[in-house]
Amino acid sequence: MKSNLLLFLLPLLAPACTPASEPQPISPLAQIEPGRYNAAILVMDGVYNTELVAPMDIFHHTRFRDSIRAINVFTVAEDRRMITTFEGLHLTPDFNFTSDSLPHIDILIVPSAEHHLDSDLDNARMIEWVKNTGLKADFVMSLCDGAFVLAKAGLLDSVQCTTFPDDTGQLKKMFPHLKVVEGVSFVHDGKYITSAGGDRSFDAALYLCEHLYGKNIADRLAHGLVIDWNLQSIKHLAPGKEQR
């Protein structure tokens, strides 16, 4: 009798004992909304949190503003393995630039990383990707020592630029042909925006939004993130303007 009861109950109990199937990850391409700008943030081990998060925060929030061409934001790396930021944050890049099918990149962002003044500059595959992508992009932004990567790729040869204040001397020494500007939050020359980095990274990202969408949208983006934003009070160098 007991064996018959057990045979009856087993089919009913089996589903509860079967492990739930793992949810399938959503393809990064599926999250790219058509009709928007595509902003790619280059990441690697040792990337600094602030330079990564500042443009991601600002550009992500454009999707909540009406009647503008918002910005898709995603991360790109040399492979899809998990990376660790300088401050210990673990993240998995959205795209592998060596083999994935990437969407067209309108805005290339190179945040600073721990080895941007030394070993990262010897990564020929990464430098070549930055060069080719930067030449095709509408805008290229570096934050802090990300300027060294752009310089190594030859993208800053004909424009004025800046970097982390303590590293402007090193930038001049390594790339003596560059026109390096000191004492500013950011420089916008041609399609290149180079930033001092740190919390000044928010300045550069908000500036690009003001450049694309106008002051009202930039003010609203800053308000939503509780940022005191006033471009006129920020020391910068931009097209057709005197250094502030």
Q: How far apart are CA 77 and CA 99, in angstroms?
A: 11
CA neighbor of 208 nearest in space, from 114, 147, 162, 142: 142
| Percent share of the chain, pLDDT over 70 | 85
Mean pLDDT of 87-100: 93
Please list, residue by residue across 25-35, b when 16 or more beta carbons sit within 10 angstroms of its beta carbon and e when fewer do: eeebeeeeeee
Q: Quick one: pLDDT at residue 14?
A: 47
Mean pLDDT of 11-36: 61
Per-domain residue ranges of the chain: 35-237
Across the chain, mean pLDDT equals: 89
Please list, residue by residue across 211-222, b when 16 or more beta carbons sit within 10 angstroms of its beta carbon and e when fewer do: ebbeeebbbbbb
CATH architecture of 35-237: 3-Layer(aba) Sandwich (3.40)
Q: Quick one: pLDDT at residue 87?
A: 95
Q: Tens of pLDDT along 191-221?
A: 999 999 999 999 999 999 999 999 999 999 9
pTM, 2 dp? 0.87
Q: Tens of pLDDT along 106-133?
A: 999 999 999 988 898 999 999 999 999 9
pLDDT band with cut points at 50, 70 and 90 for residue 143: very high
Q: Quick one: pLDDT at residue 243?
A: 42
